[in-house]
């Protein structure tokens, strides 16, 4: 069992797999790590690229799901399958700065239960986003923190590390819907888990397309309306 299992959900990311694995190799020297790509049968052949790479690279493997889609459920299934003491969740598209991974692991090893890579504190940034996307992201973050009391500067971050101990508590409670896996974990974990943050600069996407869209925002609002009363009423 490796010390760290990196779980990467993919949909049409074939061009990003090899560059990403080379970067992981470069930054994770000295760590016993593995990476599991959870691919929802991408038409561009992402799963085949991963399997091919995995033949010569024992740290790399692929979980291919057929007939299903979903970022959160892909992360959950990936963690359940990988079974490691610590999991990192990150995107395949090179937008998440992999050089942060050793720092995040150091936070976990020194006692954090969850370490979130944040775009909104300590010198992190969203890079070259347009005004519209900035406003939507900031508003969603603000509303989330008001309603959920999530204690995080970037509750919508898709880049974080979490211990298996926390995941074992929350697995039965996660619904696997939508994009907000971090939020789902924090809402369902015990209230005193130690959350730390590491800043990062969100890079522009080089290859492939974003799957974030209007339906993601609607799904977030539905989630908040369902979960907020639990927190506000202390349930």
Ligand X SMILES: Nc1nc2c(ncn2[C@@H]2O[C@H](COP(=O)(O)OP(=O)(O)O)[C@@H](O)[C@H]2O)c(=O)[nH]1
> What residues line the site for ligand X (CB under 6 A)?
9-11, 13, 38-40, 69-71, 74, 91-93, 95, 158, 210-212
Paired tokens of 212: 């974030």
Closest CA to 183 of 148, 230, 139: 148
Under the rule (CB under 5 A), what is the footprint of Mg ion? 91, 93, 95
When the beta carbons of 180 and 196 are compared against ligand X, the nearer one is: 180
Q: Which is nearer to Mg ion, 147 or 212 (CB)?
A: 212
116 touches, from Mg ion, ligand X, none (C-beta below 5 to 8 Å by class): none
Question: Is 90:98 a contact under the CB 8 Å cutoff?
Answer: yes
Residue 98 binding result from ligand X, Mg ion, none, given CB thresholds of 5 to 8 Å by partner type: none
Residues 6+ apart with CB under 8 A from 191: none
> How many other CB atoms are found less than 10 A from the CB of residue 64?
16
Q: What, of ligand X, Mg ion, none, does residue 154 touch, CB below 5 to 8 Å by kind?
A: none
To Mg ion, the closest distance from the beta carbon of 54 in angstroms equals 23
Rounded to a whole number of angstroms, the minimum distance from the CB of residue 127 to ligand X is: 11
- Spatial separation of the C-alpha atoms in residues 33 and 1, rounded to whole Å: 9
From Mg ion, ligand X, none, interface partner of 70 (C-beta below 5 to 8 A by class): ligand X
Q: How far is the CB of 202 from Mg ion (least distance, A)?
A: 8
Structure-token match 């995995």, residue found: 54
**Cβ at position 99, least distance to Mg ion in Å:** 17
Minimal CB distance residue for ligand X = 210
Strands 195-199 and 86-89: what pairing?
A: unpaired
d(CA 44, CA 23): 22
Query: Which neighbouring-strand residues pair with 201?
Result: 125
- The entry of Mg ion, ligand X, none that residue 148 binds, CB within 5 to 8 Å by partner kind: none
Cβ 5 to Mg ion, closest distance in Å?
A: 20
141 contact, one of Mg ion, ligand X, none, CB 5-8 Å limit per kind: none
Q: Which residue number, 91 or 107, has a Cβ lying nearer to ligand X?
A: 91
Token duo for residue 65 = 């799901």
Query: What DSSP line would sit under 158-184, residue for residue?
Result: S-EEEEHHHHHHHGGG----SS-HHHH
Q: 93 vs 197, which CB is nearer to ligand X?
A: 93
């Amino acid at each position: 069992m490796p010390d760290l299992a990196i779980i990467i959900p993919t949909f049409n990311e074939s061009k990003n797999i090899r560059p990403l694995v080379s970067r992981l190799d470069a930054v994770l020297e000295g760590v016993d790590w593995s990476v599991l790509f959870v691919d929802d049968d991408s038409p561009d052949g992402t799963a085949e690229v991963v399997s091919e790479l995995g033949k010569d690279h024992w740290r790399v493997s692929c979980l291919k799901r057929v007939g299903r889609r979903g970022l959160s459920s892909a992360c959950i299934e990936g963690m359940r399958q990988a079974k490691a003491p610590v999991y990192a969740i990150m995107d395949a598209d090179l937008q998440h700065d992999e050089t942060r991974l050793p720092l995040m692991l150091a936070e976990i090893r020194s006692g954090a239960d969850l370490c979130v890579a944040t775009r909104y504190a300590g010198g992190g940034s969203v890079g070259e986003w347009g005004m519209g996307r900035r406003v939507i992201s900031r508003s969603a973050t603000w509303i989330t923190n008001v309603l959920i009391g999530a204690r995080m500067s970037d509750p919508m971050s898709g880049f974080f590390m979490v211990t298996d101990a926390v995941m074992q508590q929350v697995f039965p409670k996660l619904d696997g819907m939508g994009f907000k896996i971090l939020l789902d974990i924090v809402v369902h974990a015990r209230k005193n888990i130690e959350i730390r943050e590491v800043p990062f600069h969100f890079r522009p996407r080089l290859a492939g397309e974003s799957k974030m869209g209007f339906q993601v925002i609607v799904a977030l609002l539905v989630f908040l309306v369902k979960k907020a009363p639990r927190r506000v009423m202390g349930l």
